[in-house]
Amino acid sequence: MTANRRNFLKVVGLGFASSAFGAQSANAATPSTATIESSDLSVTVATDFPRIIEYAHTPTGGLLYGTSASLSTLLIDGTEYTPSVSSTVRDGAIEYRLAVPSIAVTIDCSIRVSGSIVAFTVTDIQEGGSRMVHTLEIPEHNLVSVRDSQPDATLAATDFSVDGSKNGDYVVSVADGSVQSSPDGSPYAFVSTDTVAAGVETNAFGPLQNDEGQDPDRLAVQTVDSGSYKRTGIWSQPWRYRESDTDDIVELPWAKVAIAGDKNGDGTVNWQDGAIAFREIMYNPPGVEETKKRVAQYITHNFGSTATTPFLAALDGVKRAYLVTDGLGQFIELKGYQSEGHDSAHPDYGGNYNRRAGGREDLRTLIQRGEAFNAEFGVHLNATESYPEATGFDGDLVDFDSEGWRWLDQSYYNDHHYDLTSGRLQRRLEQLRSEVPEENLSFIYLDVYYANGWNAYKTATLMHDLGWDTTTEFPQTWERFSVWSHWATDIDYGPDSSRGINSTIIRFIRFHQKDVFVGTELLPVPEMVGWQGWSGEHDFTQFVETVFDRNLPIKFLKHHEIVRWTDDTVTFTDDVELSNASGRRTITRNDRTVYDDGAYLLQWSANDGQNQRLYHWNPDGGETTWELPAPPWRNKRWLECYKLTDTGRVHETTLQPSNGSVTIDAEAGTPYVVYCSRKGGNPDK
- 438: domain CATH number is 3.20.20.80
Our answer to whether residue 473 is catalytic in this structure is: yes
Q: Is 304 left (phi over 0), alpha (psi -120 to 50) or beta?
A: left
- 327 and 270 belong to one structural domain: no
For residue 322, is pLDDT > 50?
yes
pLDDT band (50, 70, 90) for residue 28: very low
Q: Which of 235, 255, 278 is the last residue of a domain?
A: 278
Separation of alpha carbons 626 and 595, rounded Å: 9
Report the Cα 490 to chain-centroid distance in Å. Answer: 18
Task: State the CATH number of the domain containing residue 8.
Answer: 2.70.98.10
Active site includes 95?
Answer: no
Residues 306, 427 within the same domain = yes
- Which residue of the set 40, 184, 215, 473 is catalytic? 473
Q: Check whether residue 343 and residue 492 sit in a common domain.
A: yes
- pTM of the full predicted structure? 0.92
Q: Please write the tens of the pLDDT for every residue from 185-209.
A: 999 999 999 999 999 999 999 876 5
pLDDT at 474: 86
In a domain, 302, yes or no: yes
Say whether both 180 and 303 belong to one domain: no
Domain finish residue from 231, 247, 278: 278
- Residue 662 sits in a domain whose CATH number is 2.60.40.1180
In percent, the amount of the chain with pLDDT more than 90 equals 77
Which among 331, 336, 344 is positioned nearest to 308, based on CA atoms? Answer: 336
207-247 tens-digit pLDDT: 765 455 456 799 999 999 988 999 999 999 999 999 988 88
Domain end among 532, 551, 570: 551
Q: What is the pLDDT of residues 365-399, one digit of tens each?
A: 999 999 999 999 999 999 999 998 888 888 888 88
- Considering the candidates 447, 527, 577, 652, report the single residue annotated as catalytic: 447
What does the pLDDT read at residue 618?
Answer: 98
- Asked, for residue 604, whether it belongs to a domain, the answer is yes
Whether 264 and 320 map to the same domain: the answer is no
139 belongs to a structural domain: yes
Domain count, the chain: 3
Residues 542 and 581 in one domain: no
Same domain, 576 and 432: no
**Which pLDDT score is estimated for 162?**
66
Beta-sheet pairing, 197-202 with 189-192: antiparallel
| Same-domain pairing of 547 and 638 | no
Question: Is 409 a member of any domain?
Answer: no
Query: 656: burial class by Cβ within 10 Å (0-12, 13-18, 19+)?
Result: exposed
What percent of the chain shows pLDDT beyond 70?
92
In this structure, the answer to whether residues 574 and 507 fall within a common structural domain is no
Distance between alpha carbon 344 and the CA centroid of its chain, in Å? 30
250 falls within a domain: yes
pLDDT, mean over the chain: 90
DSSP percent split of the chain into helix, strand, coil, nearest 5: 20, 35, 45
In a domain, 685, yes or no: no
- Domain enclosing residue 74, as ranges: 3-278
* pLDDT single digits (tens) 120-129: 999 999 999 8
**477 vs 115: which has the higher pLDDT:** 115
